[in-house]
Amino acid sequence: MDKFKKIQIIQFQRRQVVHKKMKAMERLVCYVVICRKPIQMMEARVQSMGSIN
């Protein structure tokens, strides 16, 4: 019984660690997307202005 409980606790802790890593990855992806989008829009605008000239 005690051994089983210990295994459950370890699995729960591992799951929490994985969850934290997933959250960190999600945050990183969101950050990159948010940062990249304006840059891409600016680049597109510059290219379109360049093609007009």
16-36 pLDDT tens trace = 999 999 999 999 888 888 878
Chain centroid to Cα 25, Å, comes to 3
Cα–Cα distance, 38 to 40 (Å, whole number):
5
b/e code 31-48 from CB counts within 10 Å (16+ = b): eeeeeeeeeeeeeeeeee
Residue of 5, 2, 1, 3 whose CA lies nearest to 13: 5
Q: Which pLDDT band holds residue 13 (cuts at 50, 70, 90)? A: very high
Q: Which pLDDT band holds residue 15 (cuts at 50, 70, 90)? A: very high
Q: What is the pLDDT of residue 11?
A: 93
Give the start-to-end residue ranges of the domains of the chain.
23-48
